Chain A
């Protein structure tokens, strides 16, 4: 099952730790806010990336990241 990383734009305060932990999927914009790889608020992940994604989710000081099922349900 494909998982999708999603950022909550209201919760996100631009700490930027996620970009260090998931550099393949997350860049920071000029104000320090994460750009996920579809250029928006979500990024699809391969199964072998789930562990790194969970680390990024746990590291976020404002708990602004989460992992959704591709269909939209929450994991």
Chain B
């Protein structure tokens, strides 16, 4: 194992003395916010190569420029910290440990875009503590803190925008993207809270500093949530490009023999044991058949049945469907049923496997949001990574962990 010589950036306070940075501590650690012209800020973010930390990995500078260029109306800034992915806790951890980095990021982009409305969207129950920190500041653009219902699809950016416009917290059809027409029709920049916190560091310390860690394609650090069979599950900050195995070691290491790791959340994809040294980056994980997404790593013990555990997760995702799009509403329960038949090694399992192959195509890229695509990706990866188990299940010989209870949380929000 390679030791990681690296000091946390976002979670510096937490790493030093397990404390939350209030405004005084934040200013003592990072100094005051620099005054930057809009062009200077965007140029720094561009040179730093910052990519969105909400899952998509889109270049942040390009998104800023698009909203800045298209403005016929005053843009609105939304910091998205409501994290509907059950496997991820990084946004909550960041808002808890370093709320002022996020608020700095909001102030910087609001100034750069000439926005007069800024909203910080958080989990239900998380607003009060953040509001105390907001009240301690004297931001030129006041930040409104709003709680968004804790449901899987509610944190998707079009759902957040619809909710903050007075509607339900459910995805809408795009285009138009929020950057073109967002809250009450105004062009809306929706950035993940970690993206904004990284941006606040780039504004202070510059792009060269930012690139001192991470990879050329994905510079900087990542907040990663670990879970499953590790000693100390939780949120860790690591350089982008850190191997999966090293992140699990930072989380105290495996509690028992691990056969696979789920990367990218419940809508992500399994990495088999041979892929355990894959680097945490969009490119490397894609090449390994998985995704970075919202960085989460869930370790699956060798004693578990990967097909059964995947069936539980797909059943959960199916229950989280908003039911707005037909292929998701009808397709995900059908996919979950097929997978369950395979997991239980019923007589119908071989027929279910044939149906599943067809149905995975039918639920992909046909919904308003990425929920059905994620469920299909997870299922495909399970059929691939657990191929040996699949053969046994289809012959009526389920593995030892078949029919076991869910190992990962599947409680509806």
Binding site for B on A (CB under 8 A): 8-14, 29-33, 35, 39-41, 72
Contact = CB atoms under 8 A, between A and B. Distances in A.
Nearest to B329: A31
Nearest to A73: B175
A27 to B, nearest CB: 11
Contacts of A41: 365-366
Nearest to B367: A9
Q: By CB atoms of chain B within 10 A, which of A9, A12, A13, A72 has the most?
A: A9
Interface of B: 171-173, 175, 324-327, 330-331, 359, 361-362, 364-368
B172 A10 contact: yes
Contacts of B175: 72
Given A9-B366, A29-B326, A35-B362, 13 more contacts: A8-B173, A9-B325, A10-B173, A13-B326, A29-B331, A29-B362, A30-B362, A31-B330, A33-B366, A40-B364, A40-B365, A40-B366, A72-B175
Q: By CB atoms of chain B within 10 A, which of A31, A35, A40 has the most?
A: A31
30 contacts: A8-B173, A9-B325, A9-B326, A9-B327, A9-B367, A9-B368, A10-B171, A10-B172, A10-B324, A10-B325, A11-B173, A12-B325, A14-B326, A29-B326, A29-B327, A29-B331, A30-B359, A31-B326, A31-B327, A31-B330, A32-B326, A33-B326, A33-B330, A33-B366, A35-B366, A39-B361, A40-B365, A40-B366, A41-B365, A72-B175
B66 to A, nearest CB: 13
B112 to A, nearest CB: 26
Tell me the dominant secondary structure on chain B's binding face: loop
Given A9-B325, A40-B366, A31 B331 contact: yes
B79 to A, nearest CB: 26
Contacts of B364: 40
Contacts of A13: 326
Nearest to A14: B326
B365 A33 contact: no
A-B pairs with lowest CB-CB distance, top 10: A33-B326, A9-B325, A31-B330, A40-B365, A10-B324, A8-B173, A29-B362, A14-B326, A10-B173, A10-B368
